[in-house]
Amino acid sequence: MAEYISKLHKLLEEDHFVVCSEMGPPIGADPEFIRDKCEDLKGYVDAVNVTDNQTAIVRMSSISASKIAMEEGLEMIIQATGRDRNRIGIQSDLLGASALGLRNVLCLTGDHQSFGKDEGSKNVFDMDSVSIISAAHDMVHEGELVSGDELRTPPKLYLGGAHNPFAEPFEMHMLKLRKKIKSGMQFIQTQAIYNLEKFDMWMEEMRSQGLHEETHIIAGILPTKSEFALKYMKNDVPGMDVPDELIDRVANADDKEQEGVDITVEIIEHVKQHEGVKGIHLMPVGWEEITPVVVEEADLYPRPEVEVDNE
Amino acid sequence: MSGSQNQYDVVYIGQPLEDDSLNFTSIEPENLAGCRGEIGDFTLKLKAGGEEAESKLSTASIVINLPYREELPLEEADSLSGDLSHLLEGENEKPLIIIQDYPDLSPAAVSKWGLEAALKARENSEQRDIYYFYKAMRFMEENDELYERARSQEVIFLKHDLGELNIDKDGVEYKREDIELELEGDLVMAPRLSPAQGTEELAKKLNIEQDEKGYLQKNNVYLQPTLSGKRGVYVLSGARGPNALTYQEEEISYTLTELKRNLRGVEEIDDEEREIDDQKCIVCYTCQRVCPHGAVQRDDELNSMTIMDKACQGCNLCISRCPAGAITRSGEEERELSAGTQVIICENSASIARDKAENDPLQGLEVEEVPCVSTVKRENIFSRLAAGESEVLVLGCISEACKHLTGHDRCEQVIEKAKDDMQKLDLDDSRLQYHRLSPRMAQDLSTFLQEWKGEVST
Amino acid sequence: MIVGKRKDIQEIKDMLPEDMDDLLIVGCGTCVTVSLDGGEREAKSLRDLLTLYYRENGSEVDINADAIKRQCDDEFIDEIENEIEENDVVLSLACGVGVQHLAIRFPEQVILPGLNTTFYGRTSATGEWEEMCHGCGECVLDRFAGVCPVARCSKSLLNGPCGGSEDGKCEVDDDIDCGWELIYERASELDMLDRLLEYEPPKDWTTYRDGGVRSHKNPEFFGSGGE
């Protein structure tokens, strides 16, 4: 039958509703940091993202942190961004990742360096998310590099990207999404969803263009127990849409933690009903310990066991 | 020279004025492609329907007479500026609700229309309820009399900013501590006025300064009643701003007088010769852009800018701003720079204030009088300060009374930059100061100088 | 044109050698005059300001100011050759090109830059300039509806906006327009959206400095027999 590149690939293709999560590497060199984070996730999630110098803050690289976590038994998704490396560096990284046994990659453009502490650094952006996906696709399926040269051994990688269903103007961002899909993006992780109406509208559009069948949509979910965090996201984070009702619910709740979990589960249940939504991507910023709770309360435990021969 | 050298005595952009003694024509703003020349000798280039036609008009003067753009805060209401007879006449029992100053203050003339409408309605119906919502009743001409009459005839006046006013097509709601009203009836509102379509493009083509709202006349005492900053270009009614509603008759008659006077010949404002060195001029267009009087244009033969002598009003802003130092004037002297306090004063304010004061407050100080403080060049400030233990005080005019419209602000930009540089070099920048005066402030001039002398002691 | 901004006055002052006897400030009469920061007026203004400064600090320095039409062509520099040689130090207010041309012409003279050359820009309003072009050497404006993704997108992205574009503004700063939104709007207006759907491979940067410091010759003019 079909050869699956990774566990995630198999789960999505075989229509399991997947649960992904995310971990941020340390601002330091200690591998224990990563191993500790794996504890909460084992058995509760199908695949874990490791961010790549997110918000331009120097951290242990995504590939190395992912390797450490993979050795703990987790299925990993590395991230490759265009900000810090040129085409030579990125292609080299992808070959190395595959050699280390890492099989999933999220291809992103990357936050501008002004978000971090190294504003004065030179940014690269030799490739953007579309060209990273395209290059990775050619490496995997054609055995070819950007330069046109052939690879001795093509890497084995399952390709993903990100999308924000709430970004305006809507059409302009859809244009980019279509290009990513055309270039070979096999799964999407979306920005955190709070505004269900807007999410519905986006899914309508995706289905009307048949795009939900060309790529697997994984809905981004950000559990939070703080109305301040919600307000911050609403006001200060570009492209986030947070309805006031949710902020009020958390603000007025006696047990904010439970309210936060309840809201999260409601959102999960809502998105799950959509034709085309193939899973969730949990991003519990600053509240990682809640992942198992959410997975259980959303009735997504236990996770399926699958094997893939990915040597 | 008489107007016979021009095709027309005046070209109206918009509505012409009724006066057969003038040889005139009128065009729509969208037909204007460009304008060159100066008072007594303008050349207007026209275009018809987007294409540049060959036609040019030559004229001694230009009048811009355009209507306002009106927008009702509520589409379904009637406008106070329109014909309201269908609402006011005949037996009409529905309540009449008049609203002005919503959401912003309406111009003064609107109060007159509103009061007249209220009185007319009362004349035709003793019974009907008449409500008048306002923020400020503007008393000009006979408004106060109309207001008293209306009140005595039981028109109910309510200051709507004291409570909460909600208006929609179904009616009006007004809530205050002591009152709660829900009204339905004939709704008449003051329209919001804005500049006519095409005003922005017109300002660019004619090179006239706009005010903050986009009208073609800045709020400035020197421009009253119908002057733009540019000699020979006059601004009426909707092009001028809401103030134009108040004294329409007077403005028209003033303008017509000006138009006729222009035909008898136009004098230059001052005796100075101003020249632009065509070798240094790089046609950066800065002089044309900053000139408040539209007196600079590009020469059609040389690759250089040129100053039109009759349009020039002598402020010297172009000279102080030319980055190539290409503009000179005959009156610029090589001053022997002396130590001590040096004062630069504008002839339109501080100079007059000085003359009015009892004892000459500037006695003993080194004083230079300028037609506008925009004459001040940054390098001159430094060379003055370098000439020994000196301070430099620049006295300009207040906003509404700057004869050259932007000169006072422009000078401030130069002073700020000079002070900034001085601070960064640890030089005492309090030795350089800029202050604005009105010509009436004779007393203030004396007081100000006392205080200032006290602060900067040598 | 080339846009520049005069350096902060302390930086200029700190650059000038302590034992300097005479200083010549040379303005440039083309691009930096149009960007209002390096022409004759600025040269004279600096002269007077520095004279004031040195006098207040008890130094005797002879400062002169002059300007030539351009500092990037020899013939103009010939005009002030003597003047330059007579001075210890030369402070040029030209863009980086002019400063270096003077340095090439006068290998034994200290030539200092008084201006920070910033970008290739247009005048968007009196006293305001916006970056438009990077001189990448391979103009792609035909493919992007007349808006350059290299110069007007803070990340030089070629395939569409990043996720940080918000309300038409760039994630780096609220004052910066999102270049991609400008491209998109213009392409919509001109019915060129299909063009934007096409995949843009990574740019060939060899035409930029990345390919090596550049120069070029126009064979129609360069090197005729006898030169």
Q: Do residue B62 and residue B200 come from a single domain? A: yes
Same-domain status, B50 and B73? no
Residue B352 pLDDT greater than 90, yes or no? no
List the single residue in C10, C34, C48 with the smallest CB-CB distance to B386. Answer: C48
Rg (CA), chain A: 19
- Residue C22, CB half-sphere, CA atoms under 13 Å: how many? 11
**Are B177 and B162 in a shared domain?**
yes
Q: Which residue among C86, C118, C150 closes a domain?
A: C118
Query: pLDDT tens digits, residue range B290-299?
Result: 999 999 999 9
Question: Searching chain B, which residue's CA lies closest to the CA of residue C29?
Answer: B324
- CA B294 – CA B272 distance, rounded (Å): 18
pLDDT of B102: 87
Segment A263-275 mean pLDDT: 95
pLDDT at residue B455 is higher than 80: no
Of C161, C200, C203, the CB nearest to A173: C161
Tens of pLDDT, residue by residue over B404-427, are 999 999 999 999 999 999 999 999
Residues of C with CB under 8 A from a CB of B: 8-10, 13, 29-30, 33-34, 36-37, 39-42, 44-45, 47-49, 51-53, 55-56, 67, 126
- Position B2 scores a pLDDT of 45
Which of C75, C62, C68 is closest to C20 using CA atoms?
Answer: C62
**B334, part of any domain:** no
Q: What is the pLDDT, as a whole number, of residue B49?
A: 63
CATH of the domain at B171: 3.50.50.60
Q: Are A294 and A19 in contact (CB under 8 A)?
A: no
pLDDT (0 to 100) of residue B27? 93
Same domain, residue pair B246 and B289: no
Query: Do residues C67 and C147 share a domain?
Result: no
**Which of A30-34, B1-5, B102-106, B380-384 has the lowest average pLDDT?**
B1-5
Residue B9 lies in a domain: yes
Percent helix, percent strand, percent coil in chain C, to nearest 5: 35, 20, 45
Q: Is the pLDDT of residue B52 over 70?
A: no
- Concatenate the DSSP letters of all residues of A226-277 into one string: -HHHHHHHHHHSTT----HHHHHHHHH-SSHHHHHHHHHHHHHHHHHTSTTE
* Domain end (from B220, B242, B262): B262
Cα separation values, A213 from A172, A210, A277, C21, Å:
21, 6, 10, 78
Q: How close does chain A come to C102, measured CA to CA in Å? A: 30
CB A281 within 8 A of CB A49: yes
Residue A159: strand, helix, or coil: strand
Instruction: State whether B188 and B208 are in the same domain.
Output: no
- Which chain A residues have a beta carbon less than 8 Å from that of C173? 114
- How far is the C-alpha of A114 from the C-alpha of C165, rounded, in Å? 14
| B27-33 contacts, C-beta under 8 A, 24 or more apart | B27/B57, B29/B66, B29/B196, B29/B197, B29/B198, B29/B199, B29/B201, B29/B202, B30/B198, B32/B202, B32/B205, B32/B206, B33/B205
Confidence band of B209 (pLDDT split at 50, 70, 90): confident
**Nearest-by-CA chain C residue for A174:** C160
Considering the domain architecture, whether residues C80 and C185 belong to the same structural domain is answered as no
Q: Is the pLDDT of residue B91 over 80?
A: no
The number of domains in chain C is: 2
How remote is the C-alpha of B230 from its chain's centroid?
11
Residues of B with CB under 8 A from a CB of C: 280, 282, 284, 286, 289-290, 322-325, 377-383, 385-386, 418, 421-422, 424-425, 427
Q: Which helix (H) or strand (E) holds A12?
A: helix A7-13
Residue C126 lies in a domain: no
Same domain? B355 vs B252: no
Q: For residue B237, is it within any domain? A: yes
Instruction: Name which of B284, B386, B422 is nearest C34 (Cβ-Cβ).
Output: B284
Q: How confident is the model at residue C165 (pLDDT cuts 50, 70, 90)?
A: confident
Element (H, E) at B26: strand B24-27
- Of B51, B37, B29, which is closest to residue B8 (Cα–Cα)? B37
Is B323 in the same domain as B288?
Answer: yes
Q: Would you say residue B51 has pLDDT above 80? A: no
* Most confident range, picked from B51-55, B176-180, B358-362, B373-377: B373-377
Q: What percent of chain B has pLDDT over 70?
A: 95
Q: Is A190 helix (H, G, I), strand (E, B) or coil?
A: strand
Distance CA B454, CA A205 (A): 74
Interchain contact C158–A (C-beta under 8 A): yes
Strands B130-134 and B96-99: parallel
Please determine, for residue C139, whether its predicted confidence score (pLDDT) is greater than 80. yes
**Cα–Cα distance measured from residue A278 to residue C218, given in angstroms and rounded to the nearest whole number:** 60
Map tokens 């936060």 to a residue.
A260
| Residue A120 is assigned to a structural domain of this protein | yes
Check A112 against C171: CB less than 8 A apart.
yes
Tell me, yes or no, whether B418 and B344 share the same domain.
yes
Same domain, C99 and C154: no
C226, pLDDT greater than 70? no
C98 & C27 share domain: yes
CB contact (8 A) between residue A175 and residue C196 = yes
CA-CA distance, C125 to B282, in Å (whole number)?
Answer: 17
Distance CA A35, CA B433 (A): 67
Asked if A198 and A164 count as a contact pair (C-beta separation under 8 A), the reply is: no
Distance from the Cα of A84 to chain C's closest Cα (Å) equals 12
Strands A76-81 and A47-50, sheet pairing: parallel
C170 and C73 inside one domain: no
Would you tell me how many other CB atoms lie within 10 Å of the CB of residue B370? 24
Residue whose tokens read 């720079």: B337
Q: Are residues B189 and B201 in the same domain?
A: no
Whether the pLDDT of residue A152 is over 90: the answer is yes
CB atoms < 10 A from the CB of C188, how many? 15
CA end-to-end span of chain A: 17
The CA distance from A167 to A179, in Å, is 16
Average pLDDT estimate for B73-102? 86
Q: Above 50 in pLDDT, residue B21?
A: yes
- Phi, then psi, of B53 in degrees rounded to 5: -80, 165
Contact between C178 and C169 (Cβ < 8 Å): yes
Q: How far apart are CA C122 and CA C132, in angstroms?
A: 7
Q: What is the pLDDT of residue A278?
A: 96
Same domain, yes or no: C74 and C139: no
pLDDT tier, B458 (very low <50, low <70, confident <90, very high otherwise): very low
- Looking at the complex, does the CB of residue A182 fall below 8 Å from at least one CB of chain C? yes
**CA of B210 vs chain C CAs: smallest distance (Å):** 15
- The answer to whether A109 contacts C162, with C-beta atoms less than 8 Å apart, is yes
Split into its structural domains, chain B has a count of 4
Residue B269 belongs to a domain: no
CB C180 to CB A172 under 8 A?
Answer: yes
Average pLDDT, chain B: 88
**Does a structural domain hold residue C215?**
no
CA C189 to chain centre: 32
In the block, which residue shows the tokens 């006519």? B196
C87 touches chain A (CB under 8 A): no
The string of pLDDT tens digits covering residues A248-266 is 999 999 999 999 999 999 9
The mean pLDDT of B380-385, rounded to a whole number, is 90
B194: buried, middle or exposed (CB in 10 Å: 19+, 13-18, 0-12)?
middle
d(CA B302, CA B47): 26
Minimum distance, in Å, between the CA of residue C57 and any CA atom of chain B: 10
User: A2: pLDDT confidence band, cut at 50, 70 and 90?
Assistant: low
State mean pLDDT over C183-207: 94
Cα angle A139-A141-A147, degrees, rounded to a multiple of 5: 30
Q: Which of C124, C139, C126, C116 is nearest to C175 (CA)?
A: C124
Touching B: which chains, 3+ CB pairs < 8 A? C
Of A126, A162, A239, the CB nearest to C202: A126
DSSP for A128-140 reads -HHHHHHHHHIII
Edge to edge, the sheet with strand B390-397 lists B366-370, B340-346, B390-397, B432-437
Domain containing B351 — which CATH number? Answer: 3.40.50
Question: Would A112 be classed as within a structural domain?
Answer: yes
Query: Cβ–Cβ of A191/C166 closer than 8 Å?
Result: no
Which pLDDT score is estimated for B94? 86
CB contact under 8 A, C8 and B424: yes
> Domain ends where: B142, B160, B193?
B193
d(CA B209, CA C88): 47
For Cα atoms B240, B246, B247, give the angle at the middle one, nearest 5 degrees.
85
| C161 interface with A at CB cutoff 8 Å | yes
**Mutate: best of C44, C45, C115, partner B, most B CBs <10 A:** C45
pLDDT at B454: 64
Whether residue C166 and residue A239 make contact (CB cut-off 8 A), yes or no, is yes
- Closest of C98, C110, C92 to residue C73, by C-alpha: C98
Q: What is the mean pLDDT of residues B223-252?
A: 87
Give the ipTM. 0.89
| Residue C184 amino acid letter | Y
Domain interval for residue B279: 274-329
Averaged pLDDT, A10-14: 94
Question: How far is CA C208 from its chain centroid?
Answer: 16
Q: How confident is the model at residue B54 (pLDDT cuts 50, 70, 90)?
A: low
pLDDT digit string (tens) for C8-40? 999 999 999 988 999 999 999 999 999 999 999
Residues in C touching B383 (Cβ below 8 Å): 48, 51-52
Q: Are residues B76 and B178 in the same domain?
A: yes
Considering the domain boundaries, does residue A295 fall inside one? Answer: no
What is the reported pLDDT for B50? 57
User: Is the pLDDT at B90 greater than 90, yes or no?
Assistant: no
- Dump strand ranges (E) for chain A: 18-23, 47-50, 76-81, 104-108, 158-163, 187-192, 216-221, 277-282
Range of the domain at A143: 7-163
- What's the whole-model pTM score? 0.86
Facing residue for B323 by CB, picked from C8, C10, C36: C36
Retrieve residue A249's tokens: 């619910």
**Which residue in the block uniquely carries the two structure tokens 């379904």?**
B76
pLDDT > 50? residue C116: yes
CATH number at residue A83: 3.20.20.220
**What pLDDT, on a 0 to 100 scale, did the predictor assign at position B390?**
82
- Tens of pLDDT, residue by residue over A286-311, are 888 899 999 999 999 999 988 887 55
Q: Is residue C47 part of a domain?
A: yes
Q: Which residue(s) pair with A107 in the sheet?
A: A80
In B, minimum Cα distance to C50 occurs at: B382
Distance CA A55, CA A34 (A): 19
The confidence band for A6, taking pLDDT boundaries of 50, 70 and 90, is: very high
pLDDT tens readout for residues A48-84: 999 999 989 999 999 999 999 999 999 999 999 999 9
Cα distances (angstroms) measured from residue B29 to each of A51, A294, B12, B64, B427? 59, 66, 10, 9, 53
Instruction: Name the residue among A201, A192, A197 with its Cα closest to residue A234.
Output: A192
Q: Over the stretch A100-147, which tens digit does the pLDDT of each residue have?
A: 999 999 999 999 999 999 999 988 999 999 999 999 999 999 999 999
Gyration radius (Cα) of chain C, Å: 22
Residue-range definition of the domain harbouring residue C192: 134-207
> Residue B388 falls within a domain, yes or no?
yes
Residue B349 counted as domain residue = yes
Contact B421 C126 (CB under 8 A): no
What residues of chain C lie within 8 A of the CB of A82, using their CB? 155
**Which residue in C has a C-alpha nearest to residue B319's C-alpha?**
C41
What is the greatest pairwise CA distance in chain A? Answer: 62
Stretch (H or E) spanning C10: helix C9-15
Percent of chain B with pLDDT over 90: 48
Same domain, C70 and C113: yes
Q: Which residues from A are below 8 Å from C197, CB to CB?
A: 175, 178-179, 182
Question: Is A301 a member of any domain?
Answer: no
State the total domains in chain A.
Answer: 1
Check if the beta carbon of residue C101 is closer than 8 Å to that of residue C71: yes
pLDDT at B400: 81
B contacts of C121 (beta carbons < 8 Å): none
Can you give the CATH number for the domain in which C107 is found?
Answer: 3.40.50
DSSP string across B184-236: -SEEEEPPEEEPPTTHHHHHHHHT----TTS-SS-S-GGGTTTB-SSTTEEEE
pLDDT at A293: 93
Chain A contacts of C176, Cβ < 8 Å? none
Cα separation, C169 vs C177, whole angstroms: 4
What average pLDDT score do residues B5-32 get?
Answer: 91
Of B236, B250, B233, B75, nearest to B167 by C-alpha is B75
pLDDT at A154: 96
Q: What is the pLDDT of residue A300?
A: 92
